[in-house]
Amino acid sequence: MKLESTVKELELKTIKSHINPHFIFNSLNSIRALVDENPTRARRAITELSNILRSSMQAEKSETVTLESELDIVKDYLALEQMRFEERLKIEMDIEKDTLGQQVPPMMLQTLVENSIKHGISKLVNGGVVRIVSEFKGDHLELLVQNTGHLNGNMNGDGFGIKSTQDRLNLMYQGKAVFEIRNIGSNMVESKISFPVVI
Is residue 179 a contact partner of residue 166, using CB atoms and an 8 Å limit? yes
Q: What is the reported pLDDT for 29? A: 85
CA 184, 190, 195: angle at the middle one, nearest 5? 130
Number of domains present in the structure of the chain: 1
Query: Would you say residue 195 has pLDDT above 80?
Result: yes
Region 62-80: mean pLDDT is: 92
- Dihedral pair phi/psi, residue 100, rounded to 5°: -60, -30
In order of 44, 124, 159, 181, the CA distances from 35 in angstroms are: 11, 28, 34, 38
pLDDT band with cut points at 50, 70 and 90 for residue 161: low
Region 159-186: mean pLDDT is: 83
What is the residue type of 191?
S
Is residue 143 a contact partner of residue 134, using CB atoms and an 8 Å limit? yes
Question: Is the pTM here over 0.85, yes or no?
Answer: no
- How do beta strands 89-95 and 128-137 pair? parallel
Q: What is the reported pLDDT for 157? A: 46
Per the structure, the complete domain to which residue 11 belongs is given by: 2-196
**Which CATH number is 123's domain given?**
3.30.565.10
Is residue 196 a contact partner of residue 176, using CB atoms and an 8 Å limit? yes
Lowest model confidence (mean pLDDT) among 8-22, 52-66, 86-100, 172-186: 8-22
Q: pLDDT for 108-151, tens place per residue?
A: 898 899 889 988 999 999 999 999 999 999 999 999 999 999 98
